[in-house]
Amino acid sequence: QLQLVESGGGLVQPGGSLRLSCAASGFASRSYGIGWFRQAPGKGREGVSAISSRGTSTYVADSVKGRFTISRDNAKNMVYLQMNSLKPEDTAVYYCAAVSSSYTGNSYLRPDIYNYWGQGTQVTVSS
């Protein structure tokens, strides 16, 4: 059974850092593109960052560019999102998702292309 499990969320002060992890099981994640998305209360799901199946290409939303970095370790079936210089507006539930098809460019930041989703982890940025 294909499963994605996020971890690493929590409460952090503005300017702080967190590293989110996405653990894949039940499938070879190296064959899938992985994206990170977030959803704040009352808002739609927003693409944050994504990485191609081999890790050769990454995509980052303008809202987090220069602050968030995505990476993957296919040997461990893990994908990470390093979040630095966090702001209160980064507060949301963060999800990782997997897509089996290949896309180009920022299409990877579209939630509608993804086949599988994790349950999410809460990130709260507050003093």
pLDDT digit string, tens, across residues 44-67: 999 999 999 888 999 999 999 999
Tens digits of per-residue pLDDT, 7-27? 999 999 999 999 999 999 887
Sign of torsion over alpha carbons 23, 26, 31, 36: negative
- How far lies 4's CA from each of 70, 71, 86, 88, 121, in Å? 16, 16, 24, 26, 12
Q: Extract the tokens encoding 41.
A: 């209360």
pLDDT tier at 42, thresholds 50, 70, 90: very high
Tracing tokens 């409460």 back to the chain, one arrives at 11
Tens digits of per-residue pLDDT, 88-111? 999 999 999 999 988 888 899 999
Helix (H, G, I), strand (E, B) or coil at 52: coil
